[in-house]
Amino acid sequence: MTKNEIKALISLLDDSDYEIASHVEKQIIGLGEGVIPYLEEEWEETLNPDLQKKIEDLIHDLQFEGLSARFREWKEKGAKDLLEGMYLVNSYLYPDIEFENISRTIDQLYFDAWTHMKEEMHPYDQVKALNNVLFREKRFSANTKNFHSPANSMLHLVLETKRGNPLTLCVIYMTLAQRLGMPVFGVNLPNLFILTYKLDGVQFYINVYNKGLILSKADIDNYILQLNLNPIDIFYEPCSNLEIVKRALRNLAFSFEKMNDPEKATEVTKLLAIITDDEPIV
């Protein structure tokens, strides 16, 4: 469709005939995210609050459909890029944030950490060096005051404020560690996401939420025991990028539930279903 045809179609959104307006909405949805700039232009030009609300809802629906498709594509491609998966989570609330903004910040953190690394460092010393950069120099820390805020799941905000939940802090830490050549991976502990350093028979754990505190297997055993759970492999071994992003979405949905926003919680749960193998038929 030409620009004039799209604008003419959008102008019919406030038609008094419900069937015409409904048909127009379906046609606009069918055009995909490319129509959003035209909708935004119409929103700015109209003084009709009802039409503005209708346009806002349409834009949200278009963005959600586009995001759903990108989540599906990310999974189908093997969920190889964790940063991309976390960016998609970020895009639910902040669709206008560019991936390049996040990538540039990570690149700068990597350079700062790289300057502190020396050849043939002991694994513990590597961790301590990275801890020093992130928690002392850059002052990243746990967001204990607003633990359940959705902002803690938004990677770009965590990079800006340097406050986050265990998962987002671990994602930043793990991304930097792996770029530095460190065999550091996520571990899906109950109620606490941590990291493990695992290579050639050497394995220990890192509690990023507690400024990179190094833990032993015995510490994990005790933690599991305190929760009255049976020790199973997933509490000790690396998890996939897909599992990390699933957990990020569960965290976000729970945040919206705590904020009494069931609509957003439901939408995030739908995104979770897209990257879950037993996706329910809706």
The Cβ of residue 179 has, within 10 Å, a number of other Cβ atoms equal to 15
Whole-angstrom Cα distance, residue 63 to residue 56? 11
Backbone angles phi, psi at 194, to 5 degrees: -130, 180
Answer for the pair 114, 108: CB distance below 8 angstroms, yes or no.
Answer: no
Q: Give the sign of the dihedral formed by CA 116, CA 136, CA 189, CA 164.
A: negative
Helix or strand (DSSP H, E) at 61: helix 49-76
Predicted TM-score of the model (pTM):
0.90
Tokens at residue 21, please?
């307006």
Residue with tokens 């005051």: 145
- Residues with Cβ < 8 Å from 151, sequence gap 6 or more? 143, 157, 158, 161
The reported pLDDT for the residue numbered 185 is: 98
User: Cα–Cα distance between 233 and 110 in angstroms, integer?
Assistant: 31
Return per-residue pLDDT of the chain as tens, 282 residues. 777 778 878 777 777 777 887 888 888 888 888 888 889 888 888 888 888 888 898 999 999 999 999 999 999 999 999 999 999 999 999 999 999 999 999 999 999 999 999 988 999 999 999 999 999 999 999 998 888 899 999 999 999 999 999 999 999 999 999 999 999 999 999 999 999 999 999 999 999 999 999 999 999 999 999 999 999 999 999 999 999 999 999 999 999 999 999 999 999 999 999 999 754 433
3-state helix, strand, coil in the chain (%, to 5): 65, 10, 25
- H runs (alpha helix) in 187-261: 217-226, 241-258
